Amino acid sequence: MSEKAELHYNGQVFEVPVVKGTEDELALDISKLRAQTGLITLDPGFKNTGSTQSAITFLDGEKGILRYRGFPIEQLAEKSTFLEVAYLIIYGELPIGEELKRWREDIAHHTLIHEDFKVILEGFPSNSHPMGVLSSLVTSLTAFYPESIDPTHSSPEMYKSIVRLMAKLPTLAAWAYKNEIGQPIIYPKNNLDYCSNFLRMMFSTPAEEYDIDPVVSNALNKLLILHAEHEQNCSTSTVRIVGSSHASLYASVSSGINALWGPLHGGANQAVIEMLENIKADGGDADKYLAKAKDKNDSFRLMGFGHRVYKNFDPRARIIKKAADEVLSKLGVNDPVLGIAQKLEEAALKDEYFVERKLYPNVDFYSGIIYRALGIPTNMFTVMFALGRLPGWVAQWKEMRTNSEPIGRPRQVYTGYNERDYVDVSKR
Ligand code: ACO
């Protein structure tokens, strides 16, 4: 028999069904509560609200667990490739044999962008932030592939729309960067793997071919895997809610890119490096900034610390810290900004304020550090995050459509004026 909770209200008892997930997480199903009691629930920021039942990612913020389709993130980051993980997240199983070959080849085959796209790209001022450019270009894909606007979720068109997006996002991202720095775009080279192809489009010029370092492309592969999916975060919830109106995959993902842009979400890795640079310019005193972060009259926050769900440690941060140490030592990087990061991290981990509030370095504290060491410019950091998160957005959008979920429409508690009569302002 399924469990129920009781709600006592206005002298009556209402039964609320309890839903149990496969990892024994419990939830009250309040979908009929308003019809039965006239009550809604109030939860600003949806911090304690499950918006869906999903089979993609399990995470336990207290225990520091993250699994994609049941596989621990630690194993995937160590043994797998980003394209394998993307397939796993989107289609539910690791691709084997022919499946993997086809997936890789299909993605390699679709990396080119329609030449007319260049006209759109050239329309942006050359110093535009690449996130704004990227989200606009992703929406523009619907104009070139109108069949993507309303594909049936199981149809071959759906597969093609997904492949196109996976294939073209790195090209669009590299082109957005080239536009920003005023260099000619570099076309993809399809005999390269996903990460190497992207790095070459970023760093080659017509005058000089970029020398792909396997340390760099392996580190990028790991970073993309770590960012690939993270259940109902701000940008993923955005993708789901936009898609719930039956907006297309490209329109929904473009909205996700915009949601990711903010410094409290994907913009945090850029904010981390900017913060470290400011501290360096101000004399490099980590303690001064630690004190500012603790001062309630100061709006300064230590970027890269704290997480909405991980309250003991971020499992991705552990993997990435190790990767950051490896990359820095293999590439022989000696950067004073990284020294400040180390000092801040050590001091904050011992500080009562941070310990009490369970504020630990999150994945973005270290991802910014690695991207900087790899030579990726600061305002491309969030774009890198978007490249990684793409499979998660696609999988969540696809799951929502496959399960025929209803349109997202939260309610509110109104706190404005009661009814009042119009006054003709010209007579006042
Ligand atoms: N620096 C200083 N104090 C902080 C920080 C921080 N980075 N983060 C939280 N706090 C404090 C808050 O002031 C609050 O203190 P109080 O209880 O005395 O009022 C307490 O810790 C709880 O903070 P909330 O904002 O309620 O925590 P929440 O879980 O809602 O926020 C968030 C999480 C937004 C990530 C927050 O920790 C933050 O702003 N961090 C910096 C930005 C950042 O790194 N974002 C990246 C997140 S990871 C990602 O998106 C992939």
* pLDDT value, residue 242: 97
Cα(44) to centroid of ligand 1, in Å? 15
Q: How confident is the model at residue 230 (pLDDT cuts 50, 70, 90)?
A: very high
The per-residue pLDDT of the chain, averaged, comes to 93
Kindly list the domain boundaries of the chain, sorted by start residue. Answer: 4-65, 81-410
| Beta-bridge partner residues of 65 | 60
For 167-216, the pLDDT digits (tens) are: 999 999 999 999 888 899 999 999 999 999 999 999 999 999 999 988 88
DSSP assignment of 221-280 equals HHHHHHHS--SS-HHHHHHHHHHTTT--HHHHHHHHHHHHHSTTTTTHHHHHHHHHHHHH
Q: Which of 301, 320, 356 to mutate to test the pocket of ligand 1 (most atoms within 8 A of CB)?
A: 301
Q: Which of 49, 307, 311, 351 to mutate to test the pocket of ligand 1 (most atoms within 8 A of CB)?
A: 307
* pLDDT value, residue 1: 54
CATH number among 1.10.3720.10, 1.10.580.10, 3.20.20.70, 3.40.309.10, domain 81-410:
1.10.580.10
Atom of ligand 1 nearest to the CA of 307: 35
Cα 404 off chain centre by: 24
Q: Is 364 a catalytic residue?
A: yes
For 241-282, the pLDDT digits (tens) are: 999 999 999 999 999 999 999 988 888 888 899 999 999 999
* pLDDT value, residue 366: 85
**pLDDT at position 336 over 90:** no
Q: How confident is the model at residue 360 (pLDDT cuts 50, 70, 90)?
A: confident
**Active-site position among 307, 325, 351, 424:** 307
For 125-183, the pLDDT digits (tens) are: 988 899 999 999 999 999 999 988 887 777 888 999 999 999 999 999 999 999 888 89
Cα-flanking dihedrals φ and ψ of residue 125, to 5°?
-55, 145
**Active-site position among 230, 314, 351, 364:** 364
* pLDDT value, residue 282: 94
4-65: CATH class = mainly beta
Can 4-65 and 81-410 be said to share one CATH topology? no
* pLDDT value, residue 428: 77
pTM (two decimals): 0.90
CB burial of residue 47 (10 Å; 0-12, 13-18, 19+): exposed
CB burial of residue 221 (10 Å; 0-12, 13-18, 19+): buried
Phi-psi region of 306 (alpha: psi -120 to 50; beta: other; left: phi over 0): left
Cα(301) to centroid of ligand 1, in Å? 8
Q: Residues 265, 232: contact at Cβ < 8 Å?
A: no
Q: Is 307 a catalytic residue?
A: yes
